[in-house]
Amino acid sequence: MHEQTTAMTDVILEAARKAREETSGEPEPHLVGKVDWPIQCTVGPGLEGAIAAESKIGYVNGAKGWLVYRGYDIFDLAAHSTYEEVCHLLLIGSLPGAAELDAFKNRLNGYLLLNKTMRMLMGFPVETMNAMGALRLGTNLMRQEFTYRDREEGRPATDDAIGADEDSIAMETAPGGGAEATFRFGEKNNSAACRPTLQDACGMDACLHLIAGVSTITAAIARVHQGHMAIEPDPGISHAANFLYMMTGRKPTPLEERIMDVALILHADHGMNASTFAAMVVASTLSDVYFSVGSGIGALNGPLHGGANEQVVVSLEEIGGVGNVKAWVDAAMKGKRKIMGFGHRVYKAYDPRARILGPLAAELARENAAVRPLYETAHALEEEVLSRMGAEKKLFPNVDFYSGIVYSSLGIPREMFTPIFAVSRVAGWTARVQEYLTNNRIFRPRAVYTGEFNKRYVPVEERR
Ligand code: COA
């Protein structure tokens, strides 16, 4: 292994040691393993606390700051694995042997070149489009290239599918559900929608097509935004190296490749986060994985989710230096403004991904004078926020706090930070959609109606 990448592994293992030491006293997790449905839980706004599905794919323990992909600790995966291995792990369920990994990479690389998609995408004014918007459009065009879903023979069979609009049951039948309201909730047969054929828009090939394609499209958008032409992929190098190559036109150094690989591993999956849930909701209607991923991209775009990494750098630049941190935090707290890159619905301990990206950003800043001021401001901001809100509000840096600095050190423009999140998270979206579809039930929560009743209709000319 390259000397600098070995040093990176040491940084990650040190972060792992600190994490274990600091959280050993936290309570053991509950709500893992087999559960009996219905589950008793308290649900809050934003579906806080709600349990929407069972999953074997990944686990987040917010109290301890654990992140686990199919039983493997994120620190071990970041230190020793690769993004391709992690994709195999998430989608297929196990870490591959050498031959399996080769076959998997070949299958993935087979989808990197998106001639038709690229031709269609370049017909749009990508240079003036928001990068996430262009990416979402690109995945839709991939659907056009790959699937026959819109033809009659490509449509999913809905006979066995389970779906219901529960609010309407009472209107369609006697209150409480008469004999007509016989939705077959008990029979969870898998529909014929997911046959693993090339025309199957939610099978494994579609997932690999998307994992490969999102990287190709993202890199092409970055190129076009910088006034260059898109570059064809090089399937002979790793996913991380190829992504950087397609974005910059330059083969990355071993260190750059490893940094990108670790970033991709860290962002690949994260429980029922907003974009994963959005992707699953769309899939649960027996739509397809292309539309699911499009919805995931839409949800990821927001500043409360994936868009936070960009906003962190905006804030750091606005602060403008270590000396201004205290006054900036004072003003933010006084104005009750959220500080981007801090806080998490689930983590009430230090986010393990930030534990890795923080020290990594520190190492990179040591070598790179251009990003050093950004890192120093970030570090001072972390100390200030932890000392003022860490203990009381359990506010710690999240994955987005240091990722922007890491990407900046690779020379990646800010507007690409959130699309890079999608380049990685597409693995989690597709894996979870696949898993959910094996036992699908349409998502349909309810709202508590707090509006009025019995209002009299007033014709428009009589309204004031
Ligand atoms: N800065 C300042 N205060 C914060 C905060 C932040 N980034 N995040 C949460 N808080 C405070 C809230 O004001 C609230 O305080 P209160 O109890 O006095 O009202 C408390 O912590 C709970 O926050 P809440 O907004 O209810 O948490 P949530 O679970 O609904 O939201 C996030 C989670 C991630 C959306 C939220 O922490 C946030 O907006 N963070 C900034 C955006 C970000 O970094 N997103 C990336 C997530 S990976």
What is the tens place of the pLDDT at every residue in 299-335? Answer: 999 999 998 999 999 999 999 999 999 999 999 999 9
Alpha carbons 238 and 109: distance in angstroms, whole number:
9
Query: Is 437 found in the same domain as 322?
Result: no
pLDDT at 147: 75
CA of 310 to the centre of ligand 1 (A): 17
- Residue 415 belongs to a domain: no
Alpha carbons 308 and 403: distance in angstroms, whole number:
10
Query: Is 125 found in the same domain as 203?
Result: yes
Whether residue 357 is predicted with pLDDT greater than 50 in this model: the reply is yes
Q: Read off the pTM.
A: 0.88
Last residue of one domain, picked from the residues 385, 409, 433: 409
Query: Is 254 found in the same domain as 217?
Result: yes
**Which residue type does 112 have?**
L
Query: Is 286 found in the same domain as 139?
Result: yes
CATH of the domain at 207: 1.10.580.10
Q: Which domain holds residue 298?
A: 106-154+194-304+425-441
CA of 61 to the centre of ligand 1 (A): 18
Whether residue 377 is predicted with pLDDT greater than 70 in this model: the reply is yes
Query: Is 129 found in the same domain as 250?
Result: yes
- At a CB cut-off of 8 Å and minimum separation 6, what does 304 contact? 274
Query: Is 315 found in the same domain as 229?
Result: no
Residue 187 or residue 83, greater confidence:
83
Ligand 1 binding pocket includes 338 (Cβ within 6 Å): yes
Query: Is 290 found in the same domain as 327?
Result: no
Mean pLDDT of all residues in the chain?
88
Residue 6 DSSP SS3: helix
Whether residue 213 is predicted with pLDDT greater than 90 in this model: the reply is yes
Which residue, by CA, sits nearest to atom 18 of ligand 1? Answer: 393
- Residue 418 belongs to a domain: no
Domain count, the chain: 3
Last residue of one domain, picked from the residues 37, 64, 89: 89
Residue 287 or residue 191, greater confidence:
287
- Residue 186 belongs to a domain: no
Which residue, by CA, sits nearest to atom 26 of ligand 1? Answer: 345
393 CA closest ligand 1 atom index: 21
For the chain, the straight-line distance linking the first and the last C-alpha, in angstroms and rounded, comes to: 76
- Residue 189 belongs to a domain: no
- Residue 63 belongs to a domain: yes
Query: Is 368 found in the same domain as 271?
Result: no
Query: Is 226 found in the same domain as 344?
Result: no
pLDDT digits (tens, 9 = 90+) for 14-59: 999 999 888 877 766 666 788 888 888 888 999 998 889 999 999 9
- Residue 344 belongs to a domain: yes
pLDDT digits (tens, 9 = 90+) for 148-200: 666 666 666 666 555 545 444 333 333 333 333 322 323 333 333 333 344 57
pLDDT at 393: 87
Ligand 1 binding pocket includes 345 (Cβ within 6 Å): yes
pLDDT at 3: 78
| 344 tagged catalytic | yes
> What average pLDDT does this structure show over 337-342?
94
Query: Is 118 found in the same domain as 218?
Result: yes
Helices H / strands E in the chain, number of each: 19, 3
- At a CB cut-off of 8 Å and minimum separation 6, what does 181 contact? 169, 172, 173
